[in-house]
């Protein structure tokens, strides 16, 4: 059975890297079909690391809902409408099923071949050499779509008097049969959670799938389990620290590339050991991994940051102007700039520089005000720095945060979200 290893939704680098490495470790320690997946957009930093080490990043998978396609019983044959009826009846008999789906020449579902439907045909001495498609077929079967989530249709299927349900794809092509009994079975995959344990934070569909292991460094809010599971938790700065420790515990060494992946998770979650969550264990595991990787944490951090953090790679003024738009509205001239920054902590360290640069830009361009929107695309939030007349800032509906910025939870778009708010504030 397939086992997914998955971090939280809105994945960050630690979440993706720990999933990747733990899948590798579980594969090495004997789990047959294991795959790391990423429950959302792959973070840019993680993407850089996978490219740097020439590894294939985890597949992006938006949910783990069990879908009809997972339940198709491939042991139940399909018969072709062109095939002589006698051959199809023989296949039906051999299959031991009570009916079989019939496929038209173009691949679409034609009907169910069912003995009950044929009684009258036989009583009137029907010719069994005719094509199957011309015999009376059962046509009121409930046809399922392969992408239907099982939880949406379970009740309807269980109440249905039939036991065989034909399954088609988006284009209407017949894929096979789902038996009613499949709806009562356990899901066809299991999941290992890394870097989270709360269902609400996990990949959609998680509550339907058995969790067989958790590796995490967050508060525990895990539901009661039916069976014993492996649960690894500790107060460390990164889930990758725990995964590295697990390699050591079983006497395994990650490859050069996987060591690099683990380092990336540790240094991004601990902000290069600056975060107050950092522990000695994070530093110790990182230096062990550096030896295996042959590259330093500093070098990897520089590579990861150069790509995604304008605040790291260029001066404050240049970073602001790299994506700035000027507007003339309600008799005012103003600028709204936007920067993407996956770690708002880096931004907070640069607030003084940015304020100074915004003041300069405002003066040099004769602007009434300058607003800088710093967006964390991973968590889906932004914060706003504002430089200019107080009346506009006070009219904005955003709350002030501890760093003096305005907090804009859920705001990602300058055009669609921030600008209308500013225009409303201008009156």
Residue nearest Mn ion by beta-carbon distance: 14
State whether residue 148 is helix, strand or coil.
coil
By CB neighbour count within 10 A (0-12 exposed, 13-18 middle, 19+ buried), where does 332 fall? middle
Residue 154 or 379: which CB sits closer to Mn ion?
379
Q: Shortest approach of Mn ion to residue 217 CB, angstroms?
A: 6
Q: Which of 269, 301, 288, 257 is nearest to 194 (CA)?
A: 269
Write 198-202 long-range contacts (CB < 8 A, 24+): 198/222, 199/223, 201/8, 201/9, 202/6, 202/8, 202/9, 202/39
Measure the CA angle with vertex 8, ends 343 and 290; round to 5°.
Answer: 60
- Alpha carbons 78 and 91: distance in angstroms, whole number: 9
**According to DSSP H, which parts of 29-78 are helical?**
44-52, 68-71
223-242 binders of Mn ion (CB under 5 A)? 239
Residue 195 or 383: which CB sits closer to Mn ion?
195
Q: Shortest approach of Mn ion to residue 427 CB, angstroms?
A: 44
User: Which of 3, 11, 14, 36 contacts Mn ion by CB under 5 A?
Assistant: 14
- Each residue 150-189 as x (binds Mn ion by CB under 5 A) or -, in order, gives ----------------------------------------
Q: Shortest approach of Mn ion to residue 407 CB, angstroms?
A: 22
Site for Mn ion (CB under 5 A): how many residues?
4
- Alpha carbons 273 and 382: distance in angstroms, whole number: 24
190-229 binders of Mn ion (CB under 5 A)? 195
323-382 binders of Mn ion (CB under 5 A)? none
Residue 8 or 190: which CB sits closer to Mn ion?
8
Q: How far is CA 273 from CA 20, 276, 296, in A?
A: 22, 8, 14
Q: Shortest approach of Mn ion to residue 195 CB, angstroms?
A: 4
State whether residue 102 is helix, strand or coil.
strand
The stretch among 63-71, 132-140, 267-275, 310-318 that binds Mn ion (CB under 5 A) is 267-275
Residue 234 or 252: which CB sits closer to Mn ion?
234
Q: Shortest approach of Mn ion to residue 287 CB, angstroms?
A: 19
Q: Shortest approach of Mn ion to residue 238 CB, angstroms?
A: 5
* 257 contributes a contact to Mn ion by CB under 5 A: no
Q: Shortest approach of Mn ion to residue 391 CB, angstroms?
A: 41
Identify whether the C-beta of residue 347 lies closer than 8 Å to the C-beta of residue 310: no
Residue 163 or 275: which CB sits closer to Mn ion?
275
Q: Shortest approach of Mn ion to residue 13 CB, angstroms?
A: 9
Identify whether the C-beta of residue 109 lies closer than 8 Å to the C-beta of residue 174: yes
Q: Is the dihedral of CA 120, 124, 125, 130 positive or negative?
A: negative
User: Which of 146, 213, 269, 341 contacts Mn ion by CB under 5 A?
Assistant: 269
Measure the CA angle with vertex 52, ends 30 and 244; round to 5°.
Answer: 40
The stretch among 10-18, 74-82, 158-166, 243-251 that binds Mn ion (CB under 5 A) is 10-18
Using CB under 5 A, list all residues that contact Mn ion.
14, 195, 239, 269
């Amino acid at each position: 059975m397939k086992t997914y290893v998955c971090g939280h939704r809105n994945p960050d680098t630690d979440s993706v890297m720990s999933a990747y490495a733990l899948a590798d470790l579980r594969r090495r320690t004997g789990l047959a079909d294991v795959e790391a997946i990423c429950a959302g957009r792959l973070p840019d930093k993680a993407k850089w690391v996978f490219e740097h080490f020439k590894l294939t990043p985890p597949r992006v998978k938006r949910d783990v809902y069990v879908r009809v396609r997972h339940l198709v019983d491939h042991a139940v044959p399909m018969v072709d409408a062109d095939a002589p009826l006698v051959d199809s009846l023989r296949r039906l008999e051999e299959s031991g099923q009570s009916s079989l789906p019939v496929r038209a020449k173009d691949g679409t579902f034609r009907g169910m071949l069912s003995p009950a439907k044929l009684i009258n045909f036989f009583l009137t001495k029907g010719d069994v050499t005719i094509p199957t498609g011309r015999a009376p077929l059962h046509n009121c079967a409930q046809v399922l779509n392969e992408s239907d989530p099982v939880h949406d249709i379970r009740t309807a299927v269980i109440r249905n008097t039939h036991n065989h349900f034909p399954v088609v794809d988006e284009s209407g092509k017949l894929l096979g049969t789902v038996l009613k009994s499949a709806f009562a079975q356990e899901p066809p995959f299991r999941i290992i959670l890394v870097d989270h344990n709360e269902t609400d934070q996990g990949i959609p569909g998680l509550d339907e799938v058995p969790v067989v292991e958790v590796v995490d460094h967050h508060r525990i809010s895990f539901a009661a389990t039916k069976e014993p599971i492996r649960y690894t938790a500790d107060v460390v700065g990164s889930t990758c620290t725990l995964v590295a420790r697990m390699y050591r515990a079983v006497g395994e060494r990650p490859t050069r590339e996987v060591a690099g992946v683990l380092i990336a998770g540790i240094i991004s979650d601990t902000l290069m050991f600056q975060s107050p969550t950092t522990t000695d264990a994070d530093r110790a595991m990182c230096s062990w991994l550096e030896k295996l990787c042959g590259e330093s944490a500093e070098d990897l951090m520089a590579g990861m940051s150069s790509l995604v953090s304008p605040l790291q790679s260029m001066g404050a003024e240049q970073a602001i102007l790299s994506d700035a738009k000027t507007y003339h509205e309600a008799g005012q001239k103003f600028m709204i700039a936007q920067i993407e920054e996956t770690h708002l902590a880096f931004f907070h360290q640069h607030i003084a520089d940015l304020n100074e640069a915004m003041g300069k830009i405002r003066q040099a361009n004769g602007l009434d005000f300058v607003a800088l929107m710093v967006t964390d695309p991973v968590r889906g939030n932004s914060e706003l720095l504002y430089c200019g007349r107080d009346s506009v800032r006070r009219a904005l509906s955003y709350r002030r945060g501890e760093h003096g910025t305005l907090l804009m939870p859920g705001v990602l778009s300058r055009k669609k979200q921030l600008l209308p708010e500013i225009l409303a504030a201008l009156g």
